[in-house]
């Protein structure tokens, strides 16, 4: 019987290893395919961007968060001439270049061509020129580089501004403090709240932010910093000469036509608010905040979508975690002939320890960026990551459940002619699962709350919805509180239902 269990377990492990290797090799293959114009054949160009960079790419708060901007129009024009449809994928800025060639075919993101970046991607000819500039509060004046010393400077993580300020801190002004952000909107809001002293960012975007927060802010041209002019280019995976030259050709045609001037008119030639001298008034009563957060532009729909994503991930991850957890628990308890923990038991134990001893965010990122590098479906990857994580916790719950089933029961069952295998699956496991139900319910509830980090892999869950609404409505309190409330209602309802069900069972 013992051998039989071992056989089953070995097969299980072998299949897991097989599935993992299979997905990895699949990935390698699709990488090759992209190089040989696979996406073009499918007729879809998957474009990566980071839609926090107005007017180049941003989510239109008036139109259901649709991604718009100079870059979006430009890439649509290019794709049209290549006879392709565009699929825009919004991701964290620092994730764009690593995703190039596996999750996305091309990056357009107000992206500056730099020597470092050129080592890993190919750039087209420039389609725009930018410079750095500085936003400060009205009372701070930057007249020369040295004025930055002792200030806390905000920059977007992974950008040229970020690199520039880091270099400045290392080489010249050691007392600069740097804060790194994911989004310009939050960065500028923190400036207005005096959490940082200034923001260094690309000039056109600075103008845009300045206009949003006028009249609190001061805009200083980056010339005081002696930053070089930056060339905005489109990035393509390295070594795809054919694609590069066709994109270059089309880009060139567009730049020399009136299409380009129209684009500039539409997005770039923005008047500064101070020039317009327009009054902005707003009514910020609680009721109004509530209406802006939920009702205006039907933003509640974003919450609804977010709730669905959160629940789908949680439920499927919980199921995966439950079954894998049972397997792990049984594995961990297997003994060898001397009555010591078997090799498989040790492996299971090792897995459980690693998973429980490392942050789930890192596990998720490893799944997204390494293991499932070539998978585009973030929901799937999140389910696997959370399922594998939850399994370790479920395993410990079930294991203590198994240990609490009395020896008497096991012996009684054995004397009734059940083999070891039978005892485990017909007698011990069902009872231990039953005893573990309260802890399993808690695990499920924790899982729901933990999924709040899936925004890192570009998923729009409930927490991300709150962020987007906050960015679109310039509110912070209401969008976040509402999301918290929704989480609370969901978890309370679920534990209520589970408790009721348990009473019934008893």
Chain residues binding ligand ARG by CB under 6 A are 49-50, 52-53, 57, 93, 109-112, 156, 159-160, 202, 230
Closer residue to ligand ARG in complex, CB, 188/436: 188
Q: Residue 196 Cβ, how far from ligand ARG at the closest point, in Å? A: 18
* Three-state SS at 79: helix
Q: Provide CB contacts within 8 A for 494, sequence distance 6+.
A: 441, 444, 445, 448
CB 232, min distance to ligand ARG, A: 6
Nearer CB in complex with ligand ARG: 91/317: 91
Nearest approach, Cβ of residue 241 and ligand ARG (Å):
23
Nearer to ligand ARG by Cβ, of 119 and 138: the residue is 119
CB-wise, 72 or 313, nearer to ligand ARG? 72
DSSP 294: I
Q: Where are the alpha helices (DSSP H) in 334-377?
A: 343-356, 360-366
Min. distance of Cβ 49 from ligand ARG in angstroms?
6
Instruction: Return the number of the residue (207 or 399) whose C-beta is nearest ligand ARG.
Output: 207
Closest separation in Å from C-beta 93 to ligand ARG: 4
Give the span between the Cα atoms of 337 and 343, in whole angstroms.
11
Report in angstroms how near the CB of residue 258 gets to ligand ARG at its nearest: 26
In our burial notation (b when 16+ CB lie closer than 10 A, e otherwise), range 147-167 reads: bbeebbbbbbebbbbbebbee
Cα 43 to Cα 196: distance, rounded to the nearest angstrom: 45
* Cis geometry, peptide bond prior to residue 215 (ω within 30 degrees of 0): yes
Minimum Å gap between C-beta 301 and ligand ARG is 25
Instruction: Provide, rounded to whole angstroms, the least separation between the CB of residue 202 and ligand ARG.
Output: 5
Compute φ and ψ for 285, nearest 5 degrees.
-70, 160
- Paired tokens of 231: 């060339």
Q: Say whether 112 sits in a helix, a strand or coil.
A: strand
The residues near 1 (Cβ < 8 Å, ≥ 6 apart) are 419, 420, 421, 422
**CB neighbours of 15 closer than 8 A, spacing ≥ 6?**
none
With a CB cutoff of 8 Å and minimum separation 6, the contacts of 300 are 294
- Cβ proximity to ligand ARG: between 185 and 396 the closer is 185
Q: Which is nearer to ligand ARG, 36 or 229 (CB)?
A: 229
Tokens 């320890």: give the residue: 353
Q: 126 or 422, CB closer to ligand ARG?
A: 126
**Minimal distance, residue 242 CB to ligand ARG, in Å:** 25
Please identify, using beta-carbon distances, which residue of 135 and 424 lies nearer to ligand ARG: 135
Asked if residue 156 lies in contact with residue 182, where contact means CB atoms within 8 angstroms, the answer is: yes
Q: What is the Cα–Cα distance from 92 to 49, expressed in whole angstroms?
A: 8
Contact assessment for residue 451 and residue 381, using Cβ atoms and an 8 Å cutoff: no
């Amino acid at each position: 019987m013992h051998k039989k269990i071992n056989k089953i377990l070995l097969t299980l492990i072998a299949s897991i290893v097989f599935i993992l290797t299979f997905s990895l090799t699949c990935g390698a293959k699709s990488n090759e395919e992209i190089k040989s114009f696979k996406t073009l054949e499918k007729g879809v160009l998957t474009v990566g961007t980071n839609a926090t960079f107005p007017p180049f790419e941003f989510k239109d708060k008036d139109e259901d968060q649709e991604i718009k901007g100079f870059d979006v129009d430009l890439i649509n024009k290019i794709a049209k001439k290549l006879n392709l449809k565009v699929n825009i994928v919004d991701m964290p800025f620092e994730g764009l270049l690593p995703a190039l060639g596996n999750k996305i075919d091309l990056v357009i993101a107000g992206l500056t061509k730099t020597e470092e970046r050129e080592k890993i991607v190919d750039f087209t000819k420039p389609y725009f020129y930018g410079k750095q500039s500085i936003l400060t509060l009205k009372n701070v004046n930057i007249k020369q580089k040295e004025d930055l010393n002792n200030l806390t400077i905000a920059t977007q993580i992974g950008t040229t501004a970020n690199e520039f300020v880091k270099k400045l801190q290392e080489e010249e002004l050691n007392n600069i403090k740097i804060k790194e952000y994911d989004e310009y909107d939050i960065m500028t809001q923190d400036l207005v709240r005096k959490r940082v002293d200034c923001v260094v960012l690309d000039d056109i975007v600075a103008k845009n932010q300045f206009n949003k927060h006028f009249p609190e802010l001061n805009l200083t041209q980056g010339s005081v910093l002696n930053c070089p002019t930056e060339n905005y280019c489109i990035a393509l995976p390295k070594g795809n000469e054919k694609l590069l030259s066709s994109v270059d050709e089309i880009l060139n045609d567009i730049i020399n036509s009136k299409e380009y001037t129209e684009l500039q008119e539409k997005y770039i030639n923005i008047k500064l608010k101070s020039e317009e001298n327009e009054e902005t008034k707003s009514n910020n009563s609680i009721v109004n905040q509530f209406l802006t957060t939920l009702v205006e532009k039907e933003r509640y729909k974003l919450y609804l979508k977010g709730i669905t994503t959160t629940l789908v991930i949680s439920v499927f991850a919980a199921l995966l975690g439950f079954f894998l957890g049972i397997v792990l628990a049984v594995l961990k308890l297997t003994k060898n002939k001397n009555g010591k923990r078997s090799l498989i038991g040790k492996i299971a134990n090792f897995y459980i320890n690693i998973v429980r001893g490392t942050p789930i965010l890192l596990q998720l990122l490893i799944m997204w960026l390494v293991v499932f590098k070539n998978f585009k479906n973030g929901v799937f990857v999140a389910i696997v990551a959370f399922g594998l994580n939850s399994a370790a916790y479920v395993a410990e719950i079930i294991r203590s459940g198994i240990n609490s089933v009395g020896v008497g029961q096991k012996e009684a069952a054995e004397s009734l002619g059940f083999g070891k295998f039978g005892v485990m699956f017909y007698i011990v496991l069902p009872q231990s699962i039953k005893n573990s139900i309260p802890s399993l319910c808690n695990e499920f509830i924790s899982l729901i709350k933990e999924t709040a980090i899936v925004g890192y892999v570009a998923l729009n869950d409930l927490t991300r919805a709150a962020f987007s609404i906050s960015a679109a409505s310039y509110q912070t309190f209401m969008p976040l509180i509402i999301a918290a409330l929704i989480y609370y209602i969901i978890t309370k309802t679920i534990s209520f239902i589970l408790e009721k069900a348990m009473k019934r069972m008893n």
